[in-house]
Structure 1
Amino acid sequence: MAVKKKGLGRGLDALFPEKSVKPAEKKQEQKPVATNESLHQQEEGSLNASAVKSAAETKDTAQAAVVEEPKKSEMLVKISKVEPNRTQPRKQFDEDALLELSESIKQFGILQPLLVSNKGDYYEIIAGERRWRAAKLAGLKEVPVIIKEFNDQQVVEISLIENIQREDLNPIEEAMAYKRLIDEFKLKQDNIAERVSKSRTAVTNSLRLLKLDERVQQMLIDEMISAGHARAILAITDKDKQTSVAMKVFDEKLSVRETEKLVKHIVEPPKKTQKTVNTAEDAIYESLEEKMKGIMGTRVFIHRKKNNKGKIEIEYYSRDELERIIELFESIR
């Protein structure tokens, strides 16, 4: 029997006010097909909430719903009449995973119906686009669906929750979905965090990724860098520098810690001690160096320090020249 996934708080239960329960799942145990369940577990687990009552309702009421509501909402429709939701958060699908799921569907069919809304001349997918794509690859002519009517906000929330539960969204898709909930439906970050059962900090950090240069965002989508790398690069405001650092991270396979150090060096370069410029004084010391060079017959450097202190450096290039310089000093006495 399908098991309700408990990983994300309210999850989809909070978005399904109706009491539709599949009798086949309550009255009798599902036929054991280990291979099918293992292949479908990740795909199907998060959507079982669409076929059960809200957790707040009592067990007795749930049993009554089994008797009162037979499978009237589930039906078979032509797969050509079903279309994906163009605004759904997920944009990329793993081809290998789709092929694996399609092979399972060829053998065992679709265990969990697609959740769709009736658009008149076609059905729009609310949840289950991956199954729909795999069913097309498997050559199915019809797919099981459950028709539900939701407003635009609920559709976005359901799609977002479904994908987050299965960790199917890449970091940028997830951030874009949060942004849409904020921009179009005026939700606060706290509201979003509650709906997807994540911390507000996690939602905030996700949204910050949209401040990255588009080239860096694409590298994140392509898994050339991780979300940890991307968050470190966010400290750089210049878009071109962001891209340059991201490429360096990829080329040199830098860790997140190494990336943080690199970014810190760029953002806060070590301060160089500036020499006090004194042109007149410099000229005097250069003149003294030249005078001493004439006396010594070799290069002489005067290194100044604070409080009128310093040291004199005299170069020699052979043992004989060293002895000559020593004799010169001795002649001064």
Structure 2
Amino acid sequence: MAAEPPRRLGRGLDALLQDYAVPEMQEAPVAPQKPQTALIATVHPNPRNPRREFSGEELEDLAASIRAHGLVQPIVVRPKPDTPDEFEIIAGERRWRAAQRAGIHEVPITLLEVSDREALELAIVENVQRSDLNPLEESLGYQALIEEFGYSQGDLADVIGKSRVHVTNTLRLLKLPEKVRDHLRTGKLTAGHARALINTVDPEKLAEIAIAKGLSVRDTEKLAQKSDEPDVKSGMRSREKDPDTVALERELGDRLGLLIDIRHKADGKGEVRIKYRDLEQLDMLCQKLKV
């Protein structure tokens, strides 16, 4: 598939609806039609929508609002492939679900003519900007764009308006075991907690400890580091550090904003380990070392 220049969609769907006909947006630009209505039975969820979790309580609250005031904001749709007079949701599935609960039979829509790729891009951008996706849904959405449409991580970062580091860190969550992903999906763990567990020997066990004890991200990082440190490694014996070494670790850590681990060998040699939790911290360290 020929590479296409990335298009910056990070401004959000509202902005795109105003200037969707800008030439770089698509080869044959089509401006959106004015909002119209459609029978709710003819509107269908997009099976590729990255968002999978919908809170029943939130849907009921929105349904109550729709009963009282109607559905004010249109659902953004495209023609359903191979199905005349029916539509597939690009953005607004939560509103569509709530409208069904509210007993609404007709909903306002804004119709766009977009490809599969563009529909997925728009769905991801809109959900990310509204913070509607949990971290796992976000990572799966990014993976779909990379695997199905040949995006590099750099191009994807440009398209969705996020940093490359954010994209990389989010995709790393897919390395976790399924049980840990479930905790991430349900909100028992945050993305910060999950990233701390990625390279550990037993992430499932550590995840259960972090949840049971209600550990902060920083405490989870410490737990992960401790779990991967054997008593004897490379000729270095684990022993109580003297106060001067602890003080030096603290001073260097305060200067760098990172965890410092100073280890001595019996022959007087040793190591200074600088621990970072993500690529953003590594980039910050590189900048400080360059200075």
Same fold per TM (> 0.5)?
yes
Compared with structure 1, are the counterparts of its residues 248 and 49 closer, same or farther at alpha carbon in structure 2 (3 Å cutoff)?
same
TM-superposed deviation, 1:72 = 5.3
Gaps in structure 2 of 5+ consecutive residues:
1-6, 24-30, 238-291
Q: Which residue of 2 aligns with 1:222?
A: 186
| Residues 50/108 of structure 1: CA separation in 2 closer, same or farther (3 Å cut) | farther
Distance in 1, matches of 2:150 and 2:22, equals 27
Deviation for aligned residue 1:100? 1.6
In structure 1, the partner of 2:167 is: 203
Post-superposition shift, 1:235? 1.9
Does the CA contact (< 8 Å) of 1:12 and 1:158 recur in 2?
A: no
**Greater relative CO, 1 or 2 (CA 8 Å, sep 6+):** 2
Match of 1:139 in 2: 103
Residue 232 of structure 2: SS of its match in structure 1? coil
Whether the 8 Å CA contact 1:12–1:50 is kept in 2: the answer is no
**What's the counterpart of residue 11 of structure 1?**
9
Q: CA RMSD in A?
A: 2.6
Q: Does 1:130 align with 2:94?
A: yes
Tell me the equivalent position of 1:157. 121
- Partner residue of 1:88 out of 38, 49, 52: 49
What's the counterpart of residue 268 of structure 2?
none
- Quick one: percent identity of the two aligned structures? 41
* Higher mean C-alpha displacement, 104-113 vs 71-80: 71-80
What is the aligned length?
A: 220
CA contact (8 A) 2:197 2:207 kept: yes
- Residue equivalent to 1:187: 151
Counterpart Cα distance in 2 of 1:205 and 1:51: 30
CA change 1:12–1:244 in 2 (3 A) is closer
Assess, with a 3 A threshold, how the Cα gap between structure 1 residues 47 and 106 changes in structure 2: closer, same or farther: farther
Pick which of 189-198 and 161-170 moved more: 189-198
Q: Cα offset for 1:107?
A: 2.0
Tell whether 2:210 aligns with 1:212: no
Equivalent residues in 2 for 1:70-81, closer than 5 Å: 73-81=34-42
Structure having the larger proportion of residues in helix:
1
Listed as ranges, the matches of 1:1-333 within 5 Å are 10-11=8-9, 47-53=13-19, 73-119=34-80, 120-121=83-84, 122-236=86-200, 238=201, 241-271=202-232
Question: What amino acid is the match of 2:154?
Answer: D
Q: Please list every run of 5 or more consecutive structure 1 residues that lacks an aligned counterpart in the other structure.
A: 1-8, 14-45, 58-68, 276-333
Q: Residues 56 and 263 (structure 1 numbering): CA distance in 2 closer, same or farther, change over 3 Å? A: same
Deviation at 1:270, TM superposition (A): 3.1
Matched-pair contact (CA < 8 Å) for 2:33–2:111: no
1:11–1:196 Cα contact (<8 Å) kept: yes
| Counterparts in 2 of 1:77 and 1:174: CA distance versus 1, 3 Å | same
SS in 2 for 1:157: helix
TM-score normalised by structure 2 residue count: 0.69
Query: Matched residues in 2 for 1:55 and 1:73: separation?
Result: 14
**DSSP 3-state at the match of 1:117:** strand
Residue 274 (structure 1) shift: 9.8
State the AA in 1 paired with 2:221: E
Q: Is the 8 A contact 1:235 1:267 kept in 2?
A: no
Does structure 2 retain, via aligned residues, the 8 Å contact 1:209–1:231? yes
Structure 2: how far apart are the matches of 1:47 and 1:138? 25
Equivalent residue of 1:124, what SS? strand
Q: Is the deviation greater in 207-216 or in 114-123?
A: 114-123
Residues 10 and 160, structure 2, Cα contact 8 Å, conserved in 1? no
Secondary structure of the 2:144 match is: helix
Residues 203-253 of structure 1: CA distance to partner in whole angstroms, max 9, x if unpaired?
1000000000000000111111221111111121x4xx1101100111122
CA separation of 1:134 and 1:72: change in aligned 2, threshold 3 A: same
Deviating above 6 A after TM superposition, structure 1's stretches of 4 or more consecutive aligned residues are: 272-275
